[in-house]
């Protein structure tokens, strides 16, 4: 039976949070941005007739997001979705203009859409996630964010939470270090090292299947799946040792530190 984390936080060395869908509801913004970008692109292929024979040009749905995009570095998500539709695109370069018909061009197109929504609407963290952050701060546990998004620092700053984390492993930092993205465990392992913690002493909090798989592959003490739509059974099958619907479930009811177990 999984450790009851609400009472065992002091037994751990550090906590590693995914960002979108775990700390902030920006996963919804990402989902809308991906949907807008991919459906506009697929519409263009249908209208132009430029798609290869046999390509799947049906509408992009939330099921595509969870199967091919969720939790992955942006260009990996583009590459996987495009491949699933039987379409080959040139890789391009991260400096490609958003209009470019390349993997990087589509990824940059999506990033522009995300930044427009973030600038216009801002972001407010989940109350339950803030409650857990408050509790872990009181315990003095070091915290890190491990996100595939290059926008992670901007999102944290917009939510007023950047100072809560000793280290932010964003997509940009991962690329600079040459680290493969989730579902590989490398970004989580590097963040644990930055905090001076061992994998066996860390808890991973993730809502994406790819992120849960990364935590499971890294040998972490616990991998908590946060069910924001992927499904508890799916997260458990991916390797989650515990699934919750809100991080408030991981805060002791009496607000005390709890006993180590």
Q: CB-based burial of residue 248 (10 Å sphere; 0-12 exposed, 13-18 middle, 19+ buried)?
A: middle
pLDDT at 92 (0 to 100) = 97
The whole-angstrom separation of Cα 118 and Cα 129 is 19
**For 3-39, b where at least 16 C-beta lie within 10 A, e where not — what string?**
bebbbbbeebbbbbbbbbbbbbbbbebbbebbbbbbe
Q: φ, ψ for residue 249 (rounded to 5)?
A: -65, -15
**Which residues participate in catalysis according to the annotation?**
18, 20
The whole-angstrom separation of Cα 117 and Cα 33 is 8
11 contacts: CB under 8 Å, gap ≥ 6: 3, 260, 261
- Indicate whether this model's pTM tops 0.85: no
The whole-angstrom separation of Cα 17 and Cα 22 is 7
Strands 143-146 and 222-226 come out as: unpaired
Residue with tokens 């991998």: 223
pLDDT at 231 (0 to 100) = 94
pLDDT at 120 (0 to 100) = 82
Give the residue ranges of the chain where pLDDT is below 70: 1-4, 255-261
Q: Nearest-CA neighbor of 143 among 204, 218, 187, 212?
A: 204
Q: φ, ψ for residue 144 (rounded to 5)?
A: -140, 155
pLDDT at 2 (0 to 100) = 42
pLDDT in tens, 170-191: 999 999 999 999 999 999 999 9
């Amino acid at each position: 039976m999984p450790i009851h984390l609400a009472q065992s936080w002091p037994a751990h060395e550090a906590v590693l949070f995914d960002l979108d869908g775990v700390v902030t509801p920006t996963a919804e913004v990402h989902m809308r941005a991906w949907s807008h970008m991919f459906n506009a692109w697929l519409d263009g292929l249908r209208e132009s007739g430029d798609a290869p024979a046999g390509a799947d040009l049906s509408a992009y749905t939330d099921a595509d997001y969870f199967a091919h995009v969720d939790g992955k570095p942006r260009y990996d998500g583009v590459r996987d979705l495009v491949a699933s539709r039987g379409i080959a695109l040139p890789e391009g370069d991260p400096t490609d203009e958003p209009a470019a018909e390349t993997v990087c061009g589509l990824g940059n197109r999506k990033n522009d859409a995300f930044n427009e929504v973030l600038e216009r609407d801002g972001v407010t963290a989940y109350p339950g996630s803030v409650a857990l952050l408050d509790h872990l701060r009181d315990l003095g546990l070091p915290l890190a964010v491990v996100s595939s998004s290059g926008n992670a620092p901007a999102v944290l700053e917009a939510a007023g939470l950047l100072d809560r984390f000793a280290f932010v492993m964003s997509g940009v930092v991962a690329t600079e270090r040459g680290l493969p993205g989730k579902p590989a465990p490398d970004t989580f392992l590097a963040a644990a090292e930055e905090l001076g913690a061992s994998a066996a002493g860390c808890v991973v909090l993730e809502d994406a299947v790819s992120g849960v798989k990364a935590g499971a592959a890294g040998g972490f003490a616990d991998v908590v799946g946060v069910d924001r739509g992927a499904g508890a059974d799916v997260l458990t099958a991916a390797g989650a040792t515990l699934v919750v619907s809100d991080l408030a479930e991981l805060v002791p009811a009496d607000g005390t530190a709890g006993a180590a177990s």
